[in-house]
Amino acid sequence: MCGTARISKLLLAVVGPLLSGSAVVPGLGGLFLLFINRSYRHFIGNDYLLLPASLSFVVAGLLLLTGIIGLCVAVNQSHCLRGTFLYLVLILFGLEVTTGTLGYINSVRVMPADLDRFNEIFRKYSDNDSMIESRAVDRLQQNMHCCGVRNYTDWTQFPWFVQSGNDSVPQSCCARNFTTCRGDMEEPELLYTQGCLLTLRDELQWIFLFTLGWVVAVCCLQTLGALMICLWTNTDSAPYQLLNTDNFS
């Protein structure tokens, strides 16, 4: 085995486990997107996070398989597995670009598309815990550390604020560090002041931007693996030799 083939084999033995290990990122990302979609589906709507979540699971499975095949190629030197590795890399390129594009589109459409939906749900808020909208709003404000749609003063526009008549916001707007908080708007230092729409948008944007960065890194790994396969295959191809006819004369 020549030096180029030996180096290609060694690098492929490193790239394979790295690709398999990188499958953890889209797997966890898909689970997190499902959690966000389930917890805040009333505000997000249309289950549009399900598609990037599903693609994340597919990419995770293919990455795991591709990494294992890459390691097997380095050990067994199978020509069939080399071709399989290259085909899987091409498929992964397409899926990763699709996932990254969907992530970018979804991250920039959260605020303008869902403003009306947020306002509608917040208007339906009441002290009745059996109301789905009330539980959804409280869960969002408590988990995301936010209050109102754009900021905590939005509550002055909702029916619940007028009916309560005490110039306060729901208890779920109270910062957890202050046990004496009663939701009084005259004490904003005890409240979460940032709006929930911005907070949820920023959370999703962080996830999708992280995904884009991961896609770039994994694409570099895949390119390196594919390049090693091509170099290895070329060095294995024995050159044609001219037949010396003098031996037959």
| pLDDT at residue 70 greater than cutoff 60 | yes
Q: Tell me if residue 126 falls in helix, strand or coil.
A: coil
Query: 204 is written with which tokens?
Result: 């999703």
Neighbours of 223 (CB within 10 A): 13
Count of residues making up the chain: 249
pLDDT interval class at 235 (50, 70, 90)? low
Tell me the mean pLDDT in the region 13-23: 88
Give me the chain's average pLDDT, please: 82
CA–CA distance, 2 with 181 (Å, rounded to integer):
73
CB 60 within 8 Å of CB 30? yes
Q: What is the pTM of this model?
A: 0.75
The residue ranking higher by pLDDT, 249 or 72, is 72
Region 34-54: mean pLDDT is 80
CA-nearest of 49, 170, 36, 46 to 114 is 46
What residue segments make up the domains of the chain, in order of their start?
3-236
pLDDT, residue 58, reads: 92
Percentage of the chain modeled with pLDDT above 90? 22
Higher pLDDT residue, 104 or 192? 192
In this prediction, residue 240 has a pLDDT band, given cuts at 50, 70 and 90, of: very low
**Gap between the Cα atoms of 5 and 1, Å rounded:** 6
According to the model, what pLDDT value does residue 220 have?
Answer: 87
Give the mean model confidence (pLDDT) for residues 130-153. 91
Alpha carbons 37 and 230: distance in angstroms, whole number: 42
- Judge whether residue 236 has pLDDT over 60: no
- DSSP-assigned beta bridge partners for residue 174: 191
Q: Evaluate if residue 219 carries a pLDDT over 90.
A: no
Q: Which of 142, 145, 143, 141 is nearest to 122 (CA)?
A: 141
Nearest to 197 by CA among 86, 88, 122, 85: 122
| Residue 145, Cβ density class (10 Å: 0-12 exposed, 13-18 middle, ≥19 buried) | middle
* pLDDT above 60: residue 3: yes
Structure tokens at 208: 């999708």
Average pLDDT over residues 16-22: 89
CA distances to 19, 170, 215 from 79, rounded to whole Å, are 20, 66, 28
- The answer to whether 209 and 107 are in contact (CB under 8 A) is yes
pLDDT at res. 13: 83
| Helix/strand/coil (H/E/C) assignment for every residue in 163-208 | HHCCCECCHHHECCCCCCCCCECCCHHHECCECHHHHHHHHHHHHH
